[in-house]
Amino acid sequence: MAHKIIDTCILCGACEPECPVNAISVGDDMYIIDEALCVDCVGHHDAPACVAICPTDSIIKA
């Protein structure tokens, strides 16, 4: 399991600093999540931190 960012991302950058495992980085057209690194915030937060902060609801389960 992991999370991914979909094409409604507006490149605001809010999610990047929220990730406890530094799985989020900026891509060409949107931010991207390295699914090999994402742990769904288990052991860090009660719910995925990036999902909570995203203003366009662009982060979903992969």
For residues 52 and 29, what is the distance between their CA atoms, to the nearest angstrom?
21
Among 21, 26, 60, 62, binds ligand SF4 (CB under 6 A): 21
Coil, strand or helix at 24: strand
- β-pairing, 3-5 vs 24-26, is unpaired
Among 9, 31, 48, 58, binds ligand SF4 (CB under 6 A): 48
Cβ at position 2, least distance to ligand SF4 in Å: 6
For the record, the structure tokens of 43 come out as: 């052991």
> What is the contact surface with ligand SF4 in residues (CB under 6 A)?
3, 18-21, 23-24, 33, 38-41, 48-50
